[in-house]
Structure 1
C-alpha cells in the first residue's frame, strides 16, 4: 500500500472514530464511552499514522498523569532533572499539556494529518493554567536537564482529570496519553482510588501502555503498607499489570524546592525505570505501535458498541416494515385473489369440453350422446339454479392494493408514535412522515404498480387459452382422448343393447333396466369428464393466483419493503453514516494491522 493510500486509510479510521465519539455524546447511556473512542482515535492519529509514514522513533514520549493535587508536577520536575513544571497548591492548576524538551536541536514533530487532534502549539510561553485547546513546548538547558531523561524523552506535564473543570480538557489529556510511550500514573495517599483516575488507569493498562505507578505524600514508614494496599485495592483489579510501583513520601521544604538535587533517593528509581523502558529506542516505539494496534483490533466490537442501541432500533424498524409487508400481501390475497373468480377460466372449461366432442361427421354421434345425457344435463341445471348463491363482487385490484398500502403506512406511523422517546430513530421516522414520507411512499407505489401491470399483461388470458391450446396443438393426444371418451360411451350403449337382445324382450324389468343403462352410463362418463376438466382448469386458476401474488411481491411489496428498510440509512442521515462506518471499520482495521506488520518486518 502506497503512502497516499495509507494516509487515506488512517484518515478514514480517525474520522470514523471521531464521528462515533460525537454520536456517543448524544446518547446519555454512552457518554462515558466517548472518552474511549477519543482515545482510540488519538492512537490512530498520534501513534499508528506517524509510524506508517516512517517518522523517526526519537523522541519518545513520557506523560505524567493523575488526579488533582496528586503531585504530577513534582514527578515531571524529577524526570526533567530541573525545577521547571509549575507546582502549585491549587488543585487543577495545569489545564493544558506542557512538553519539556532539550534546548539544543529541533523537536522532530510528526507531520501526520490530525496529529494531537485539535490542539494548537503555542508560539510563546504561557502559564500552565491557560485553559485552551493548546499545548506548549518549553526548552530545558543541557545543564539544567542533566539529571533527567530529556535526551531520549519529551516529558509531558498533563492536566488533571478530577476537578470541576476537568471535562473541558480531558480530551487534551487523552491526546497526550495516546501519544506516550511510557505513562507515569501519580496517586496520592489522600486520593489514591478516586473513580475517574482509576477508570483512566484501567483504560491505559487495557490498551497496553507501559505504566509506572508513583504513589505520593504518604509517611515514609507507611510506604510499604500503602503499596500493598494500592496493589490489592486497585492494581489487582486491573486488566493488565503495571510495570512498577514506586513511592515518593512527603518531601521536606528543601526537597519540594529542588527534588532533583535534594531527593535523589526518590528521583533516581523513577528516572532509571523510564530509561529502561526506552531501551532500545526503536523497540520501544514499535512496542507502542504494536500495543495500539492490538488494542484497536481486540476492542473493535467494544468501540462499536456505541452503535448497539442504534442497531437494535434499526432492527426494530425493519421488523415493523416486515410486519407491514406481510399484512399487505395477506390483504391482497384475502380481499382480491380469494374472491376473484377469473371468469376467463370458466370459458376455458367450456371450450375444453367442446374440444373433447367429436368433430366433423362425428358431431352427429356427439349430438346423439347429448340426447342420451339430457336427463343429467337438465337435472344439473335445475340443481345449479336452485342452490346457486349470488357471488360477491370482488373489489378492483388497484383499490385493494391502495388500501393495503394505506394500512402499511398507518402501521408504521403508529409504531413510530408509540416508540418515540425510546430512541432518536423513531423521532427521525416521525419527522420523515411530517416531511412527506407518506407521499413519497405513494409515489413509489404508483411507479411500481405500472411495472406490475406491464408484467401481468394478459397473464389470465394467456394461461386460460393455454388450457385448450395445448390440446389443439397436439392432435394425437386430443384424438386419443376424444376416441377414448366416445368408445366408453358407445360401449355402454352396446352393452345395454346386447342385454336387451339377450333377454329376448321377455323380462320387462330387465329390459327397462337395460334401456336406462345407456343414458345413465353416458351421463356418468360426461360427469367424470367435466370433473377432471374442472380440476385441471382449477389447478391452472390457482397457479395464476400464485403467480399474481408473486408478481405483486416482486414488483410492489418487496421493493417497497427494501426501500423502507433502508430509508433511515439514506438521505445523508446520521444512520447512513453509521451504516457506512459499521460496514468498513473492521476491514479498515485489518488493513491497518497488515500495514503495521509489514512496516515492522
Structure 2
C-alpha cells in the first residue's frame, strides 16, 4: 500500500488560489449568471432551448465548478461514476467499493442526486466537500426527496478502506439522457467537476447514444483520467462492441482511448460478474497516476476550448450595442447641424450676439445720464412688460417661437423620433439581434417624454450658464473700443439720441425683450457704427467667436444630456436574455487567460 499512501499525500496538496486571476474568475461567474437568466427566461416563456445555448451553459457551469474545486483545500481522491439510464452505475460502484453501498434499481431515472460514499476521511475533508457543494445541502441518501434537487447525498464516513484499497469518495450520479435529466443536470456537473477519475458505465445498447458522446466530448479538454466499463455486455459481443467503441472514441475525441473493461450480465445467483477484479485494478492504477498539481492546466485548456463559443452571443450583442452607439452618434451629429441651421445661422432666430450688443449699450452709457435713462426705461416700459408677460401666459408657445430653447427642444424631439424609426427598421431586418432591437425600441418609446423633459431642463440650465460668455463678449468689445477714443465718443454721443428714440418706439409698439422694438433702433445704430468704423473686422471676429463657443456648448449639451442617456438605454432596458457585459471586462479576462496560457 505504499504507492497508495504516496498517491494520497500528493492528492491532499492544496491548490492554493487556483489557476485563474480575479478578473477571469469574476467574468466566468458573471457570464454564467447571464446564461442562467436567459435559461430561466426561456423556461418561463416556454421557448425552445437551443442546443448551443444548453451546451454553453453546461460547459460554463462545469468550468466554474472545476475552478471552485481547485481553489479549495484538497480532499482524498474522488471517483465519479457516470452513464446513461439503465447502464448499471450503482452496481459498478458497489463492485468498486466491495460492498452494497449504492442502491440499484431497475427504474429509469431512479438516482436524481449526486451521492457520495466516503472512506478514510477526516473532518476537514468532509467540510471541504460540503463547502464545494453549497448551496446544495448534504442529506443521508435514504432521505433524499425525489423532486427536490437542493440536496446531495452523503453518508457518514465509512470505517476501513474500500476494495480499491485507499481513502476515496465514489460518487453515484444522475443520468444525462432521460427526459427529466435537464432538471437535475446541476448535480451531475458538480460530481464531474470534482473528480480525479471518471468511470463511464455504458451498455451494449447505450454506448453509441448521442447524449453519451456529447458529454464525453464536452469534458475532454479537462483531461480527467477516464475508464470505460462496458456493463451488461455478452462475452460473444464484447470484442465487437469494444472495437466499435474505440472507433467512435477516435471520431469524437482527440485523446487516446481509455482502458475499457467489459463485464457480462450478472448471473442469477452471482454477486458480481467476471472481470470485476480487472475493473478494480484499472481504477486503482489510474488513481496512482493522478497528478493534481497539473489539473489547473486541464481547466485552462477547457477555458480556451470553449471561450469563443461562450462569447458568441455576447459578441453578437456587443455588435448590436456598437451599432446603437454609431446610430446615436450619427443622429446627434445631425442634431448639431439642425441647431446650426435653425438657430446659429438663421437670419431671424439668432439673437445671442444681439444680447452682447445690448450689454455693450449699457456699458456705453454716458456718466451722469445713464442712471436717469435706465430708470426712465424701466418706468416707461413697465406696463408693456406686464402686457408681454400676460401674453406669454396666454400663449406660452408663441413666446418661444423661434427662440433657442424652442429650437433645442424641437431638435431633441427630432432625435428621439428618428432613433425610434431607425431602430424599428433595424429590428424588422435583423435575425439574431431582433429581440434586442425590439426591446430597445420599446424602451425608447417608454423613455421619450422623460428624456425630452430632462433635456429641456438641461437646456435651460445651459442658457443661464452661457450668459457670462455673452457678457464676456460685450466687455471685450468695450475694451477694444477704449483703444479707439474717437469711435467710443461717437458711440456715446449717439447712445443718448438712440435711447430716446427707443423709448418713444417702445411706448407706441409695446414691444419688449431682445427681439422687440424697444432696443432694436439702438442696436441697429450701434451695429452700423461699429461695422463702419475701424473695428469692423474685430466685431465680425467677436461675433464668430461667440457663435463658435455657443456651438461647442450646445454640442456638449447634446452629448452630456441626450446622447449619454441614450447610450445607457441598453443597460437599463428590461431584457431577460441580455448579457450587458462591457468590452473592457472581457478584455481583462482574456488578458489573464492569455497570461495563464503562457505560464503553463
Q: Residue by residue, what CA displacement relative to the aligned partner does 1:468-517 show, whole Å, maximum 9, x if unpaired? A: 85475389xx9xxxxxxxxxxxxxxxxxxxxxxxxxxxxxxxxxxxxxxx
The structural deviation recorded for 1:202 is 1.4
TM alignment of 1:162-241, pairs within 5 A? 162-238=177-253, 240-241=254-255
Q: Residue 76 and residue 339 in structure 1: after superposition, are their counterparts in 2 closer, same or farther (change >3 A)?
A: same
Q: Residue 286 and residue 585 in structure 1: after superposition, are their counterparts in 2 closer, same or farther (change >3 A)?
A: farther
Is 1:161 equivalent to 2:176 in the alignment?
yes
Alignment partner of 2:409 out of 389, 397, 402: 402
User: Is the contact made by 1:327 and 1:404 (CA closer than 8 Å) also made in structure 2?
Assistant: no
The structural deviation recorded for 1:531 is 13
**Whole-angstrom distance in 1 between the partners of 2:355 and 2:323:** 49
User: Is the contact made by 1:60 and 1:181 (CA closer than 8 Å) also made in structure 2?
Assistant: yes
Q: Residue 531 and residue 78 in structure 1: after superposition, are their counterparts in 2 closer, same or farther (change >3 A)?
A: farther
Q: Residue 112 and residue 560 in structure 1: after superposition, are their counterparts in 2 closer, same or farther (change >3 A)?
A: farther
Is 1:326 equivalent to 2:336 in the alignment?
no
User: Is the contact made by 2:221 and 2:305 (CA closer than 8 Å) also made in structure 1?
Assistant: no
Q: Residue 455 and residue 301 in structure 1: after superposition, are their counterparts in 2 closer, same or farther (change >3 A)?
A: farther
For 2:295, the equivalent position in structure 1 comes to 288
**Whole-angstrom distance in 1 between the partners of 2:79 and 2:93:** 9
Q: Which moved more, 1:151-160 or 1:132-141?
A: 132-141
**Whole-angstrom distance in 1 between the partners of 2:414 and 2:567:** 17
- Length-normalised TM-score, structure 1: 0.67
**Whole-angstrom distance in 2 between the partners of 1:123 and 1:348:** 86
Is 1:251 equivalent to 2:265 in the alignment?
yes
For 1:148, the equivalent position in structure 2 comes to 164
For 2:126, the equivalent position in structure 1 comes to 109
Partner SS, residue 58 of structure 1: coil
The structure that has the greater radius of gyration is: 1
User: Is the contact made by 1:569 and 1:576 (CA closer than 8 Å) also made in structure 2?
Assistant: no
Q: How many residues align?
A: 484
- Length-normalised TM-score, structure 2: 0.67
TM alignment of 1:562-577, pairs within 5 A? 562-570=564-572
**Whole-angstrom distance in 1 between the partners of 2:122 and 2:465:** 78
Q: Residue by residue, what CA displacement relative to the aligned partner does 1:224-265 show, whole Å, maximum 9, x if unpaired? A: 443343233334432x41561313142341696324xx4345
For 2:106, the equivalent position in structure 1 comes to 89
For 2:460, the equivalent position in structure 1 comes to 450
Q: Which moved more, 1:338-347 or 1:98-107?
A: 338-347
Higher RCO (CA-CA < 8 Å; seq separation 6+)? 2
The structural deviation recorded for 1:154 is 0.7
The structural deviation recorded for 1:169 is 1.0
Is 1:271 equivalent to 2:283 in the alignment?
yes
**Where do 5+ consecutive residues of structure 2 fail to align?**
1-15, 43-48, 358-399, 489-530
**Whole-angstrom distance in 2 between the partners of 1:156 and 1:347:** 84
Partner SS, residue 229 of structure 2: strand
Q: Residue 113 and residue 170 in structure 1: after superposition, are their counterparts in 2 closer, same or farther (change >3 A)?
A: same
**Whole-angstrom distance in 2 between the partners of 1:176 and 1:78:** 19
For 1:77, the equivalent position in structure 2 comes to 94
Partner SS, residue 159 of structure 1: coil
Q: Residue 541 and residue 120 in structure 1: after superposition, are their counterparts in 2 closer, same or farther (change >3 A)?
A: same
Partner SS, residue 22 of structure 1: helix
Partner SS, residue 312 of structure 1: helix
Partner SS, residue 155 of structure 1: strand
TM alignment of 1:464-543, pairs within 5 A? 466=476, 470=480, 473=483, 541-543=543-545
User: Is the contact made by 1:66 and 1:72 (CA closer than 8 Å) also made in structure 2?
Assistant: yes
Alignment partner of 1:67 out of 63, 84, 89: 84
**Whole-angstrom distance in 2 between the partners of 1:224 and 1:434:** 68
**Whole-angstrom distance in 1 between the partners of 2:54 and 2:276:** 43
Q: Which moved more, 1:72-81 or 1:403-412?
A: 72-81
Alignment partner of 2:559 out of 552, 557, 560: 557
For 1:379, the equivalent position in structure 2 comes to none
Partner SS, residue 259 of structure 2: strand
The structural deviation recorded for 1:11 is 8.8
For 1:36, the equivalent position in structure 2 comes to 59
User: Is the contact made by 2:221 and 2:301 (CA closer than 8 Å) also made in structure 1?
Assistant: no
**Whole-angstrom distance in 2 between the partners of 1:113 and 1:334:** 70
